[in-house]
Amino acid sequence: MNFTISDEQRELIDAVTAFLDKHSPESEVRRLMHEGGAADPGVWSLLAGQLGLAGLIVPEEYGGGGFGFLDFALVAERVGAALLVGPLLSTVGAATAVTLSTDAELKSAYLPGLASGDRVGTLALAEESGNWDVTAVETTATTGADGQLRVTGVKMYVADGQHADVYLVSARSVTGTVGLYLVDAGIPEVRTAALSTLDLTRPQARVEFTGAPARPLVEEEGAAALIERVMATAVVLLAAEQVGGAQKCLDMAVDYAKIRVQFGRPIGSFQAIKHKCADMLLDVESARSAAYYAASVLDDDSDSPLIAAALAKAHCSAAYTRVAGENIQIHGGIGFTWEHPAHLYFKRAKTSEILFGDPAWQRERLAQLVGI
């Protein structure tokens, strides 16, 4: 499979990189994370409206760009490198789920707002136990006395949950089938509480649904396939973001190894540091290949999207954490200080590693998918 970047993709990358360099420098990242992790309204408006990133993979008929998952993976890389504080991946994940809906009215009502960034969406998939497995879903979707479908349960680790306008919630119907349901925020039946997290650049929330009015994305017979596809999409987009963060850590480590002098020589000239940098490069490039391949599979179904997604998430998670850790080691004492950005990437790497299932969980899932 050829992952050569086209001229159009290069222009997209350059535009996004220039935007993030201007609007998401380290100083801005630190300011926003100390203020609770909400996006800067002006920057979010420009990112979603002017650049159209929130709707990049939404069909054009609903106000989106009609691009592919590989195109967005390239964007996610740059977002990960910049540690953007904003609900971009959450909203894109939610918009992708709605795009897969068979309810034309629901798509017309919600996709334009998600694509424009006027509505922030997020996926609410993990149970209160912390389990991401579809088979572990305890949240229920039942029909009330008024005939309205209602969702009841608690979801944990909901990325940008306290800032969302729309939740895509996994829930079990009375027949036992697990599907996805759309629930609006800002109603009495939905309560959110911010969680204390390691990574302050990506807020997470506990969201409790107490008979919240909901709409199913598809009929029950297609619900299981839909939620599997949505989960695969979410982990692939996150894997691409992890690649960007890992690349940034590698760049920082190499730059520092060139200028830090010890015993009269740049530390990059020592074999131990060379080996560390070489191993980091291997991690980054192999992770990039895994993420690009998984995104391409989502675009053309040339292989199993579920297998490709599990492989990408497992490998990219482990690679990002290793590279972020080695970056701190190469920087030495300065790398452990609050003033240096290395810890920001390490914290993002650790939380991203767990989000949507850690590497061990993904490898177990991969084994099940291939029949081992």
What is the DSSP-derived secondary structure letter of residue 50? I
Residue 249 domain flag: yes
Residue 296 domain flag: yes
- 299, 9 in Cβ contact below 8 A? no
Last residue within a domain, chosen from 73, 97, 116: 116
> Quick one: three-class SS letters along 45-91?
HHHHHHCCCCCCCCCHHHCCCCCCHHHHHHHHHHHHHHCCCCCHHHH
- 261, 252 in Cβ contact below 8 A? no
Give me the domain span that covers residue 14: 7-116
- Predicted TM-score (pTM) of this structure: 0.95
Last residue within a domain, chosen from 68, 88, 116: 116
Supply the pLDDT for residue 261.
Answer: 87
- Taking the alpha carbons at both ends of the chain, their separation in whole angstroms is 26
CATH of the domain at 135: 2.40.110.10
- 98, 114 in Cβ contact below 8 A? yes
**Beta strand pairing status for 121-124 and 166-172?**
parallel
Residue with tokens 């960007």: 244
- 132, 126 in Cβ contact below 8 A? yes
Q: What is the domain count for the chain?
A: 3
User: 211 and 84 in one domain?
Assistant: no
Residue 178 domain flag: yes
Q: Which residues pair with 142 in a beta bridge?
A: 150
Q: Which amino acid is at 178?
A: V
User: 302 and 234 in one domain?
Assistant: yes
List the chain pLDDT tens, one digit each, 372 residues.
Answer: 667 788 999 999 999 999 999 999 999 999 999 998 899 999 999 999 889 999 999 999 999 999 999 999 999 999 999 999 999 999 999 999 999 999 999 999 999 999 999 999 999 999 988 889 888 999 999 998 888 999 999 999 999 999 999 999 999 999 999 999 999 999 999 999 999 999 999 999 999 999 999 999 999 888 989 999 999 999 999 999 999 999 999 999 999 999 998 998 999 989 999 999 999 999 999 999 999 999 999 999 877 999 999 999 999 999 999 999 999 999 998 988 999 999 999 999 999 999 999 999 999 999 999 888
- 124, 89 in Cβ contact below 8 A? no
Helix (H), strand (E) counts: the chain: 11, 11
Q: How far apart are CA 288 and CA 294, in angstroms?
A: 10
What is the DSSP-derived secondary structure letter of residue 38? P
User: 237 and 212 in one domain?
Assistant: no
Supply the pLDDT for residue 2.
Answer: 65
User: 78 and 133 in one domain?
Assistant: no
User: 360 and 231 in one domain?
Assistant: yes
Burial readout 223-242 (b: 16 or more C-beta within 10 A, e: otherwise): beebbbbbbbbbbbbbbbbb
